[in-house]
Amino acid sequence: MTSLPVTEILCEWACRTTFEDIPPRTVHCAKEQVLSIVSAMLAGSRADFLQPLYRGVRSWGDREEATVVGTGFRYSMRSAGMAHAVAAQALEWEDYLKSKHSGASTVPVALAVAEGVGASGKEFLTALVIGNEVSGRTGQAYIRSRLFTNSCPNHQIDAAIVAGKLMGLDREAMMDAVGISCFPPLTQCFAGWMSGTKGMITGAPALAGITAASLAARGMHGFRGIIEHPDGFSNAVFERYDLEEMVKDLGTDWRTDTHSPKVYPCCGRLDALVDSALDLLEGHSLTWRDIEKVEVRCPTVTLLLRRPLEELLDLMDRIAETDWLTPVPLFFDATYPLAVAIMDRELTAAQFGKERMKDPELRGFLGRISYTTDPLLDLKEMEEGVNAGEVTLVLKDGRGVSRFTEAMRGSYLNPVDVREKLAACTRDILDEGRREEIVETVDRLDELDDVRELTRLL
């Protein structure tokens, strides 16, 4: 393995990068990301299983530094950043940078710290883009591990750098912040995804990163080669990784340009199938009652999410009947999101309610879906960072209609108007006037003297 001073390279680049160094297209993508993740935070703030989080944070009696999105309350930067990140992640409605998760860490940390220090919109956007570039690269570097792209560890790096940039740390202090944040390394156990703790995948590193930057700003030192040292962070958590990927083309190949907001609250490897099914229903004026069978062609990795029908039904029963279990496992099932989207002609958080799981007609429809894998679609996903798939609806009148989605809606290769996501996530939370005010303010973020002009709306 090539030895590279990765910690120093990332921190030096982060410290010297200014708003003027960032291309206009990248700034535009960052603004879209803000709108996307704010939407996810607002939706998450209404999840029943997250209400204890907000009660707990309020009980701490923190300094009132930053607004917690969706609550109307102000807490410390650390508490607000953590709560933001948990809410952004909890419903699996966040985003990708060319298939690497980023925004549920970088946007929450940037919002909390920017408000806490009174940063301008340009300073906020600069820190956000820097965080995305670090997150996209570390996510890619660590993707060969068993933790894939949606886990705590790489966000311990980007969260510290985002917070450190907004706090004005110099290179050495930034390296200290990363060293503090990355020790000890955070990881996860997948059993926790059954409970309300799943959002801590980004919440815990957000808390670690903001804490670390604050300590470094006051003179605490961390190990300044923590990422790359043979006895350091990367080796402690990951069995395989690529140090060169972490620093490749910094400042020239802008990963933020591949921002891809998730338009459905489910695993992104199901998005193209939901797209195809909904397009067929609308294009052929069909309902689920017209359908005899649903035939799916998908990447092999998507099929790994498929549970046997009896196991899926048992899981639905347990979630519906157990107060401390959440619908999160169903976000990562290959069948449930597709079936309920076809029946309801949409896929939002409402489709994952415990009462919805009990519907006997839904339970019967689940058995109509079958799968065929196409390894070429796995290759496409690895090379382009987009999900593709085909759905064929075999109708009761004997006809068959098919739709292949080349790249899921919302991806950088098939973009959407992010206002659609804001509307879907806040259907029962905000009125149209407030949504438009948020959109307009995000659009002129680089003109704001103080980012609080945005956070007061949230």
**DSSP β-ladder status, 400-405 and 389-395:** antiparallel
| Partner residues linked to 404 by β-bridges | 390
Nearest-angstrom CA–CA distance, 213 and 156: 11
Residue 148: is its pLDDT beyond 60? no
pLDDT (tens digit per residue) in 3-32:
799 999 999 999 999 999 999 999 999 999
pLDDT band of 1, cuts 50, 70, 90: very low
Q: Are 114 and 451 in contact (CB under 8 A)?
A: yes
* Strand, coil or helix: 401: strand
- Per-residue pLDDT reduced to its tens digit, 107-117: 999 999 999 99
Q: Are residues 311 and 204 part of one domain?
A: no
What is d(CA 447, CA 425) in angstroms, rounded to the nearest whole number? Answer: 26
Task: Please name the helix (run of DSSP H) or strand (run of DSSP E) that holds residue 370, with its range, or none.
Answer: strand 369-373
Output the pLDDT for position 149.
Answer: 56
What share of the chain has pLDDT > 90, as a percent? 90
407-449 pLDDT, tens digit per residue, is 999 999 999 999 999 999 999 999 999 999 999 999 999 999 9
Confidence of residue 145 (pLDDT cuts 50, 70, 90): low
| Same domain for 324 and 195 | no
Question: What gap in Å lies between CA 426 and CA 107, rounded to an integer?
Answer: 18
Kindly state whether residues 201 and 313 are assigned to the same domain. Answer: no
Per-residue model confidence (pLDDT) at position 31: 98
Residues 175 and 256 in one domain: yes
Q: What is the CATH number of the domain that holds 355?
A: 3.30.1330.120
**Per-residue tokens: 33:** 């990301």
Give the pLDDT of residue 144.
Answer: 61
**Residues 282, 205 share a domain:** no
Integer Cα distance of 93 and 104 in angstroms: 9
Mean pLDDT to the nearest integer, 142-158: 76
The count of structural domains within the chain is 2
Q: Does residue 40 lie within any of the structural domains? A: yes
CATH code (residue 223): 1.10.4100.10
pLDDT, tens only, 243-273: 999 999 999 999 999 999 999 999 999 999 9
DSSP 100: B
Report the mean per-residue pLDDT for the chain. 95
Whether residues 162 and 72 fall in one domain: yes
| pLDDT at position 311 | 97
In a domain, 302, yes or no: yes
- What tens digit of pLDDT does each residue of 99-141 get? 789 999 999 999 999 999 999 999 999 999 999 999 999 998 9
Predicted structure pTM score: 0.96
- What confidence tens digit (pLDDT) does each residue in 293-340 have? 999 999 998 988 999 999 999 999 999 999 999 999 999 999 999 999
* Model pLDDT, residue 99: 72
C-alpha to C-alpha distance for 231 and 236, rounded to whole angstroms: 7
Per the CB < 8 A criterion, the answer to whether 173 and 188 are in contact is no
Strand partners, 67: 74
Is 412 part of a structural domain of the chain?
no
User: Considering the domain boundaries, does residue 414 fall inside one?
Assistant: no
3-state secondary structure of 371: strand
CA distance 124 to 96: 20
Indicate whether 257 and 280 sit together in one domain: no
Q: Are residues 372 and 445 in the same domain?
A: no
Domain-located, residue 389: yes
Are 191 and 306 found together in one domain? Answer: no
Q: Kindly report each contact of residues 282-286 with a partner whose C-beta sits within 8 Å and lies 24 or more positions away, as own/partner.
A: 282/345, 283/401, 283/403, 284/393, 284/401, 286/393, 286/395, 286/401
Examine residue 431 and state whether it is found in any structural domain, yes or no: yes
| Separation between Cα atoms, residue 182 and residue 209, nearest integer Å | 8
Identify the domain containing residue 355 by its residue range.
268-405
What is the average per-residue pLDDT within 57-65? Answer: 94
> What 3-state class would DSSP assign to 215?
helix
CA distance 305 to 315: 14
Same-domain pairing of 185 and 233: yes
Are 19 and 108 in a shared domain?
yes
71 CB burial (10 A radius; 0-12, 13-18, 19+): middle
Identify whether residues 180 and 292 lie together within a single domain: no
pLDDT of residue 151: 73
In a domain, residue 418? The reply is no
| Domain contains 128 | yes
